[in-house]
Amino acid sequence: MTMNAPQFSAARFLLQGDDRMATKKKVEEPVQAEGKSDGAGATVTRVGDLIDAVVTATGAKKPQAKPVVEATLTALGLLLADGQELNLPGLGKLQVMRRKERPNGEVIIVKLRRPGEKAAGEKKAKTPLAPAPEES
């Protein structure tokens, strides 16, 4: 089943290769979205929090970042609704495990496998099976 998602004007950025979102600012360390408590002690990150984190990380202007973030979230939602497996560096590998239709929407259970302690894309150092021979 496909989701009924609103169409965002950010699609033109993605489809036409518009580089207005490009920035020369290099991100030194990850930026965490500031969430708000849901009253039960859990932190809930909303779209606005995510947009603020993207603006902080990239240096883009909020009016430029907002439609791109919204379009990205919509695209991710549509891919998951279609049962697609996602492999996204920085996030991990998402796989749809179960789906269930409910009267108020669809419940999609996903498994998210994140990289371990090593950084994403970093290869594990190979250890030799035997010590290197000594030269004389």
Q: Does the pLDDT of residue 120 top 80, yes or no?
A: no
DSSP 3-state of 30: coil
Q: What whole-number percentage of the chain has pLDDT above 70?
A: 60
Above 80 in pLDDT, residue 135? no
Return the number of other C-beta atoms located less than 10 Å from residue 69's C-beta: 22
pLDDT band at 119 (very low <50, low <70, confident <90, very high): low
Question: DSSP label at 17?
Answer: T
Question: Is residue 7 scored above 70 in pLDDT?
Answer: no
Banded model confidence at residue 121, pLDDT cuts 50, 70, 90:
low
| Per-residue b or e along 77-113, where b marks 16 or more CB atoms closer than 10 Å to that residue's CB | eeebbeeeeeeeeeeeebbbeeeeeeeeeeebeeeee
Can you give the pLDDT at residue 31?
54
Q: Is the pLDDT of residue 2 over 70?
A: no
Q: What pLDDT shows up at residue 122?
A: 63
Report pTM: 0.57
- Averaged pLDDT for residues 112-117: 86
Residue 9 has pLDDT above 50, yes or no: no
Predicted pLDDT of residue 116: 79
The neighbour count for residue 45, using CB atoms within 10 Å, is 13
